[in-house]
Chains A and B, each alone.
Chain A
Amino acid sequence: QKEVEQNSGPLSVPEGAIASLNCTYSDRGSQSFFWYRQYSGKSPELIMFIYSNGDKEDGRFTAQLNKASQYVSLLIRDSQPSDSATYLCAGGYTGANSKLTFGKGITLSVRP
C-alpha cells in the first residue's frame, strides 16, 4: 500500500514567519512529488513540484526532497494571511499509467 503521510495539523504561524510543512512517503520508487494548495471550497492548485534530491525555490516557496529518508517538505517564507489554506502533498511515478497518491493534507493558518 503506497502511502503519503503529512504531519498532523493544523499549523498556525504569525504573519512574516516561516511555515514548514512536512510529508513522508512509503514507496521508495516514487519519482516526483507535488505540493498543492487548496483554499476552502475550492479545487487543489499546484504550487510546487520536485523530482530531484535537494532544494527547489520559487519565490517565497522552497520544496525539499530527500529520497534516502523518503521525505518531502515545503517551506513558506514571509508567510502571509493569504497563504492560509490546506496543503496537500502528493507523490507518484512518471509514465503512461502514472497515478498520484495524496496525503490527507495539513491546514495552515497565518495569523495577522
Chain B
Amino acid sequence: NAGVTQTPKFQVLKTGQSMTLQCAQDMNHNSMYWYRQDPGMGLRLIYYSASEGTTDKGEVPNGYNVSRLNKREFSLRLESAAPSQTSVYFCASSELRGRPYNEQFFGPGTRLTVL
C-alpha cells in the first residue's frame, strides 16, 4: 500500500498561473481533505470531501476549487495563483464509519511557491 500520494512534490508558479494538485489514496477511505500549512499557523482546512460526490468548504477555501474525481482521487485547483498561496499543501484521508475516531492519514505534501 502506498497510502496517500501527492503530485507534484514541488512547484513554482508565477502570479496568475493556474495549476492542479493531485491526491490519491489506496486505503479505500471515504473521506479526503486538503490542508495548507504556513509557518506558525498550523494546518488549516481548505476543502474536504466526506464521501465520493460531495465536497464542502473548510476554513480557508477562497482562491481554490476541488474535484472528488472518484473514491480514490481528490484534486485541488488554483485558478489564478497569488503569492499569498505560497504554502505547503497536504492531502489526507480517513475512514469514519463504524469507528469511534477519525484518524487522518497524510500524504507527503506539495511545496508551492508563487512568485
Contact = CB atoms under 8 A, between A and B. Distances in A.
Interface string B44-62: 1100101100001010000
B87 to A, nearest CB: 14
A7 to B, nearest CB: 14
Interface in A11-63: 31-32, 34, 42-46, 49, 51
B43 A96 contact: no
A44 B33 CA distance: 14
Contact of A98 (B58, B90, B96, B109): B96
A42 B108 CA distance: 7
A104 B41 contact: yes
A102 B42 contact: yes
Interface residues of B, number: 30
Contacts, number: 66
Interface string A80-101: 0000000010101111111110
User: Do most interface residues of chain B lie in helix, strand or loop, or is the interface mixed?
Assistant: loop
State the 5 A-B residue pairs at the shortest beta-carbon distance, nearest first: A104-B42, A32-B101, A102-B43, A43-B106, A98-B102
Given A90-B43, A94-B96, A96-B51, 10 more contacts: A31-B101, A32-B100, A34-B103, A43-B90, A44-B106, A46-B103, A88-B42, A94-B101, A98-B50, A99-B45
30 contacts: A31-B100, A32-B101, A34-B101, A34-B103, A42-B109, A44-B106, A46-B104, A46-B105, A49-B101, A88-B43, A90-B43, A93-B102, A94-B96, A94-B100, A95-B96, A96-B31, A96-B50, A96-B51, A96-B96, A98-B31, A98-B50, A98-B94, A98-B102, A99-B45, A99-B58, A100-B102, A102-B35, A104-B41, A104-B42, A105-B42
